[in-house]
């Protein structure tokens, strides 16, 4: 039985992870961390250092500030962690890489297996279609989401940059700032915020007389919660797991 600590347990994703774990027999919620009392029947504290119990692995769905604190704690406690928080700065990402030198860290901008498949398909399409197709990324989320563009949109952008023979340049986030013709190697990234949209992502390849669209739509937060729990079990149940930065590709290989 794997004991999981959830940081951000009072938030939407934290609760989704809590509810999903309650339906499984291979793991349990050992404790929760949140500055807001989650009102759940598990030990909870506003800071990891204040918990009276220990876990086997941490799942972090919180904020960049809380993630920074979690990385420091996990390094000191030698606790594997799954970082699901988005909106991290380059400095924050440097902390992730530093932590991965001493503990196993699993990180993905999106914990959905389907989204990671979308990234691979987008790479393949970029290679096959070539520079004759203009590429656009569109993401849609609920009106409470803070970061824009989403971490997933940036993950898709990075995947496309890796696949391209020459970098997409410039990267344009919306086109209201300048009225000008689209550049040949330009790539657009656009954010929509409204209602209760869980998460929708599209990659458009616009060519002569045709448009190829690759898309993913999340029906509920459970797809992300399921990926986070599987990542936590991947870290906790591998007896020979060495420190390092792991991703969804590593999880898929293990399956």
Q: Which residues have a catalytic role annotated?
A: 141, 145
Residue 133 burial class via C-beta count within 10 angstroms: exposed 0-12, middle 13-18, buried 19 and up? middle
Neighbours of 34 (CB within 10 A): 20
Contact between 159 and 122 under an 8 Å Cβ cutoff? The reply is yes
Give 30-33's long-range contacts (Cβ < 8 A, gap of 24+). 30/3, 30/4, 30/5, 30/54, 30/55, 30/56, 31/5, 31/6, 31/55, 32/5, 32/6, 32/7, 33/5, 33/6, 33/7, 33/8, 33/9, 33/62, 33/66, 33/70
Contact between 133 and 205 under an 8 Å Cβ cutoff? The reply is yes
Here the tokens at position 221 are 């937060």
Closest alpha carbon to 5 in 39, 54, 52: 54
Here the tokens at position 65 are 């500030």
Task: Give me the helices (H) in 130-196, please.
Answer: 151-163
> What DSSP string describes 67-109?
HHHHHHHHHHHT--EEE------HHHHHHHHHHTTTSEEEE-S
Report the alpha-carbon distance of residue 129 to residue 226 in Å, rounded.
33
């Amino acid at each position: 039985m794997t004991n999981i600590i959830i940081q951000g347990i009072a938030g939407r994703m934290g609760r989704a992870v809590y509810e999903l774990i309650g339906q499984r027999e291979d793991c349990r919620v050992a404790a929760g961390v949140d500055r807001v009392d989650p009102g759940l029947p598990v030990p909870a504290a506003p800071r990891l250092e204040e918990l009276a119990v220990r876990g086997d692995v941490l799942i972090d769905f919180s904020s960049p500030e809380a993630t920074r604190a979690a990385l420091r704690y996990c390094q000191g406690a030698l606790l594997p962690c799954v970082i699901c928080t988005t909106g991290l700065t380059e400095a924050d990402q440097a902390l992730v890489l530093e932590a991965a030198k001493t503990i196993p860290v699993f990180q993905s901008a999106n914990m959905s297996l389907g989204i990671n498949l979308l990234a691979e398909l987008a790479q393949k399409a970029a290679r096959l279609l070539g520079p004759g197709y203009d590429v656009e990324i569109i993401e849609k989320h609920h009106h409470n989401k803070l970061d824009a563009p989403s971490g997933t949109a940036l993950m898709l952008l990075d995947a496309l940059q890796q696949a391209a023979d020459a970098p997409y340049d410039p990267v344009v986030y919306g086109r209201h700032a300048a009225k000008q013709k689209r550049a040949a190697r330009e790539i657009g990234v656009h954010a929509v915020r409204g209602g209760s949209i869980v998460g929708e992502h599209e990659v458009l390849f616009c060519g002569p007389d045709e448009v190829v669209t690759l898309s993913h739509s999340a029906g509920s937060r459970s797809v992300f919660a399921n990926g986070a729990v599987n990542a936590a079990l991947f870290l906790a149940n591998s007896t020979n797991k060495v420190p390092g930065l792991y991703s969804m590709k590593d999880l898929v290989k293990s399956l």
